[in-house]
Chain A
Amino acid sequence: MIPGDFQFSKPPKNKLILLGVLGSIGFIVFAVIALIATFHISSWIDKPIVFAGEAPDQPIEFPHTIHVQELGLDCTFCHTNVTKGASASIPAVNLCMSCHTQLGDGSTEIEKLREIHAKKDVIQWTRVHRMPDHVRFIHEAHVKRFSGTRLVVEKITDSTNQIRLTEAKTIKAGAKIGETLDIAASGTCSICHGDVSKMHKVEQVRTLKMSDCVDCHRENDAPTDCTTCHY
């Protein structure tokens, strides 16, 4: 050691503790800001990669798995308006009760349903898919576009049951190119809503952002004029 050289004096212990505390507070603040920024930026582009949230809880746990997969009910059996108008419509309690006056004794969820029916109340479902107010989405037009007898399957890109909107021209998995398909209205729902029949709790599968809509509109030669959806 050379005399007169700079020497780092050892800081006192209480100063070290203060530095440590300040540093950790600073780190926490930075981490929180980074998380919020990540949430906002990622949710702007696509689904948020942090705090994404799970499927919302419903007042009555309605299992689509039992009703669609096991009983084989058609989507349009309950969502009757989907082929007739803008909204797909949620069935009235009376439709549930047409079976559940007889079936499902002992289940707490069905007791809840019967209680609501006895009070002549409505079920306050939590909405899962919501479009902003300035968007007009017409279920009828979209269902009509993809259902019916479609002459030619133009390309097959997805061999699994997961049908994605970008490959909407191939509705049915396992179809051959050039095959004529007869697609029911309920065969088209999964394009946007995912395979609801396998969901115990309904969740939003696609981002349903404008780019999502416009990509599909371009792919399917649908109009992309602003007044198609915004008015």
Chain B
Amino acid sequence: MANPSWGMVIDNDKCTGCNACVIACQSENNIPINEEDHFTQRRPIQWIRIERYWEGEFPNVKARFIPVLCQHCADAPCEPVCPVYATYHNDQGLNVQVYNRCIGTRFCANGCPYQVRHFNFWEPEWPDSLENQLNPDVTVRTRGIMEKCTFCVQRIQRTKRESEKNNTSIKDGDRQLNPACVNGCATDALVFGDFNNPESKVSKMKKKELGHGGHGDHSDHDGHKEHDEKRGYHLLEEYGTHPSVVYLKKVDYESKTVEKH
């Protein structure tokens, strides 16, 4: 069987901005607690964050949310700039960060247009009450190295190991396999799966919403009806990074507009 190409489909229409994915990620991946001064210095570590936009004038204000995580770009701008090959693309479509190789030049974070790479400016610290909640399957990153979303590669590896042991294939949408953010999402706005498997939920969604063109190239040549039906797009697709995360537009019938952030 072909290697999987892990990816995600994020439906902005379903996202309520509840931040459950952020908390799930925080606890799954041993991310240190972001304190207030980390935010004021613009140095918080959030592998997934909810970007919030306000729309409209005062009485009719609407909040719009976009969950932003590492897009695991096929042509990632972070990869060629690393002098020590600490970040590279593996055969499963993952953009891998190798912590023990990283020397902390931060070139990758400067190259990333999505601002999803985070540098450890401080030694990670947890309150005593949380010392025992650390996930033993995830490395605790020390000060001075870069970290980012891994699509919970520890869960992928574990599922792969289990399926090899039991001679079964990896099930699509398996909760053992899904990243913590996907499992934590209350409205199923995040869907994780294998884009190389045409039967997977993400492949079907991508085909339906993005069309054959891929990479969000669904211009209006078929008329407006086509435009209304297909909601898929990539974040900042004009940069040509070819991300593995597909976003679906928020459709607001009330304001008769299709929001594309």
Contacts and interface: CB of A to CB of B under 8 A. Distances in A.
Interface of A: 86, 132-134, 136, 138, 140-141, 144, 225-228, 230-231
A141 B94 contact: no
A144 B100 contact: no
Contact of B100 (A134, A138, A141): A134
Contact of A231 (B88, B92, B139, B140): B139
Nearest to A141: B161
A226 B150 contact: no
A227 B94 contact: yes
A132 B100 contact: yes
Given A231-B139, A231-B153, 4 more contacts: A140-B165, A230-B100, A230-B139, A231-B154
B108 interface: no
Contacts of B153: 227, 231
B157 interface: yes
A80 to B, nearest CB: 17
Contacts of A133: 139-140
30 contacts: A132-B100, A134-B99, A134-B100, A134-B139, A136-B137, A136-B157, A138-B161, A140-B161, A140-B165, A141-B161, A144-B165, A225-B90, A225-B96, A226-B88, A226-B96, A226-B98, A226-B101, A227-B94, A227-B96, A227-B150, A227-B153, A227-B157, A228-B157, A230-B98, A230-B99, A231-B138, A231-B139, A231-B150, A231-B154, A231-B157
Contacts of A136: 137, 154, 157
Contacts of A226: 88, 90, 96, 98, 101
B91 interface: yes
Contacts of A140: 161, 165
Interface residues of B, number: 21
Interface in B135-163: 136-140, 150, 153-154, 157, 161
Nearest to A228: B157
Contacts of B138: 231
A86 B154 CA distance: 12
B57 to A, nearest CB: 47
A166 to B, nearest CB: 23
A91 B127 CA distance: 31
A114 B233 CA distance: 67
A134 to B, nearest CB: 5
A226 B91 CA distance: 11
Nearest to B87: A226
B90 A227 contact: yes
Interface string B86-121: 001011101010111100000000000000000000
Contacts of B101: 226
Q: Which among B91, B100, B153 has the greatest number of chain A C-beta atoms within 10 A?
A: B100
A121 to B, nearest CB: 20
Q: Which among A133, A225, A227 has the greatest number of chain B C-beta atoms within 10 A?
A: A227
A144 B98 CA distance: 26
A227 B92 CA distance: 10
Q: Which among B91, B98, B101 has the greatest number of chain A C-beta atoms within 10 A?
A: B98
Contacts of B136: 86
Going nearest first, the 4 A-B pairs with the smallest beta carbon separation are A134-B139, A134-B100, A231-B153, A226-B98
Contacts of A230: 98-100, 139
Nearest to B136: A86
Contacts of B161: 138, 140-141
Contacts of B137: 136, 231
Nearest to A231: B153
B14 to A, nearest CB: 29
B91 A225 contact: yes
B125 to A, nearest CB: 16
Contacts of A231: 137-139, 150, 153-154, 157
Contacts of A227: 90, 92, 94, 96, 150, 153, 157
A178 B150 CA distance: 43
